[in-house]
Amino acid sequence: MPKIQGLSYGGDYNPEQWPEEVWPRDVELMREAGVNLVTVGVFAWAWLEPEPGGYAFDRLDRIMDGLHDGGIRVCLATATASPPPWFSYAHPETLPVDADGRRLSYGSRQAICASSPVYRQAALALTEQLAQRYRDHPALAVWHVHNEYACHNAHCYCDVSAAAFRDWLQRRHGDLAGLNAAWGTAFWSQTYTDWAQVQPPRATPTSSNPGQVLDFKRFSSDEHLACFVAERDALHRLSPGVPVTTNLMTASCVNLDHWAWGREMTGPDRLLSNDHYLLGEHPLEPPAQIAFAADLSRSLAGGPWLLMEHSTSAVNWQPRNLAKPPGQLRRDALAHVARGSEGALYFQWRASRAGSEKWHSAMLPHAGTDSKIWREVVQLGTDLRALAEIEGSRTGAEVAVLLDYGSVWAQEAANQPSADMVAFDEIRRWHSALWRAGITADLAPPDADLGRYRLVLAPALYAVTDDAVANLTGYVAAGGSLVIGPYSGLVDECDQVRPAPLPGAFAELLGIRVEEFFPLRAAETVRLDDGSTAAVWTELLAAPDAEVLARYADGPVPGAPAITRRGTAGGPAWYLGTRLADAPLGRLLAEVAAGVGVHPELPGTPGVEAIRRRHADGRSYLFLLNHGDRPAEVDATGLDLLTGERWTGPTRVAAHGAVVLAQPAAEGPA
């Protein structure tokens, strides 16, 4: 964590967009708002290196000094996410190429091929210059590498990438025989006889080989990760002792294998940080979107993490950009903090006057300080200072929801039985069903040590390795409880169908046998004989060795089992052969959770989200976030750190308000 007392508060600060006269006023206003950490220089490459090798750091020196004089620490960016035009113009081979063979231009941002040695070298050179110049600067608190890797340039199909892809494939598959076997190239006459023939999955007349597409997604994530690791290692070498981070997008980016990234972003002098923006028109409610992003960030970090960016109000990149009503700025920030963030930072400090993001909200809006946003920003600064003692406390979870990027990617391939089976969406939907039930969950990869969870959910685990199968089987054998969703366990990590009975990975564990898939039409629903409804997916299922909890009452396979449960010698294992609607899914998961001893943090107060952070000595903090239009009374006691009020009876949480109750070790449940 940044060496800051208490929680971090601030945002991206882009002084290069403003005349120097504005800078002292920025510092003054940051102090007024209680800002203690700003991210400087994220898109400042052109400002820092206006010509090849001609570094101009004098202005950044003055910024760093000015912030230091104001008592504000700096998360200093390596500025490598967006090379200046002089660079891209001189090195057009560093520009990304899409699957259709179009080379994209500069004039936007992230116009980079991640495999380009020319780009990597230039990025490293700038990083090293910055590290050498600022490593001893007293304002420096964190190094911020790049920005949102793969946000706009996840996959590049150029010749440089093709050569790097072939190297990567040789490391993974050994020889061509291994590659041909893994990709199943006997199908459609795709057998490769020379490595030179192997390409990225560029545009083809019809669907590309799914194994090739899957490997290319893995490769692309690894290439971006290699860029991060190179900069990170340079910073560790030249600036030891200063934490290094890069800002992930856990809820919105499925192009990176975040588990692999998490491994490289945690440990000594490393910090896992995340950016999160609400989607105004999304099937999940805004607080459920936050819960997922934050729970995944915490799970990747294995503990504390930092919210590097979110928005004070509207963003500007959605078709309709919804502003936050009064109170939401505070509640959203606290929702991230409740789930383990050691602070709250924004994009950005001062709203830009020009450029693509001038209509994006900021801490200091165009409207100035006489504004709703500014008043709430100042209030949040006070709130976060009042929460200083929660630093270092942890958010715990007894349930894990499995997320495997390789599986998500395999399922993204063309020619699936139903285009409506979108794994990442389904994982989020199950997570939000738990959120609605008041249960905090971690995310985990299927090969994680799951022993500490009472309940593990696998909403969508289409592709699974033998190791993961053994891990999940071992978890159940040791007494764990597992719920598996439809279209899971069918293929291996090469996207090749596992041997019968289906689902090859889990038929025995679940005591079931899938005979045939019966996907539904777009708006079709089916009824189950327990009264619930489902959509998207049904299958002809037999349950030779499991109890049938519900059968289809209508639809394509009336009478076939829809939900089963196998009571093993270890723990129980459920299978859902269909996509239950939100309400019955929520009921089922809440029932299963209660049955295995997992209960909501705060039973029976609908509309109030309750999350607990706990110190190792047992002192804990109960965050109560009221999402409703009316004040709520909550059966909890303690000292509200935000107001100093001590609640001895029910605690009152204002409409759209927040309360953080400090509770001594004895008061909160263990």
Q: Which residues bind ligand GLA (CB under 6 A)?
A: 147-148, 275, 277, 309, 315, 347, 357, 360
List, in sequence order, the alpha helices (H) in 117-209.
Answer: 117-134, 159-173, 176-183
**How do 247-248 and 244-245 pair as beta strands?**
unpaired
- Note if the bond before 132 is cis, omega within 30 degrees: no
CB of 142 to ligand GLA, least distance (A): 15
Burial class for 451, CB neighbours closer than 10 Å (0-12, 13-18, 19+): exposed
Distance CA 63, CA 61 (A): 5
Catalytic residue, candidates 148, 426, 493, 609: 148
Q: Mark whether 285 is an active-site residue.
A: no
The strand ranges marked E within 464-536 are 481-484, 513-519, 525-527, 533-535
Residue 163: CA atoms inside 13 Å, Cβ hemisphere, count?
6
Q: Are 312 and 324 in contact (CB under 8 A)?
A: yes
Q: Are 586 and 594 in contact (CB under 8 A)?
A: no
Q: Are 361 and 313 in contact (CB under 8 A)?
A: yes
Distance CA 70, CA 335 (A): 29
> 151 vs 658, which CB is nearer to ligand GLA?
151
Q: Mark whether 281 is an active-site residue.
A: no
Cross-strand partners of 513 = 542
CB of 311 to ligand GLA, least distance (A): 6
Length of the chain: 670
Burial class for 603, CB neighbours closer than 10 Å (0-12, 13-18, 19+): exposed
Q: Are 390 and 5 in contact (CB under 8 A)?
A: no
> 274 vs 488, which CB is nearer to ligand GLA?
274
**Starting from the edge strand earliest in sequence, which strands make up the sheet with 620-626, in order?**
394-395, 608-614, 620-626, 658-663, 638-640, 646-647
> 148 vs 492, which CB is nearer to ligand GLA?
148
> 148 vs 495, which CB is nearer to ligand GLA?
148
**How do 73-77 and 37-40 pair as beta strands?**
parallel
Distances (CA, A) of 93 to 88, 160, 228, 493, 527: 8, 8, 20, 33, 56
Catalytic residue, candidates 49, 223, 231, 309: 309
> 309 vs 383, which CB is nearer to ligand GLA?
309
CB of 351 to ligand GLA, least distance (A): 12
Residue-by-residue DSSP string for 519-544: EPPTT-EEEBTTS-EEESEEEEEE-T
> 357 vs 447, which CB is nearer to ligand GLA?
357
> 315 vs 526, which CB is nearer to ligand GLA?
315
> 312 vs 393, which CB is nearer to ligand GLA?
312
What positions carry a catalytic annotation? 148, 309
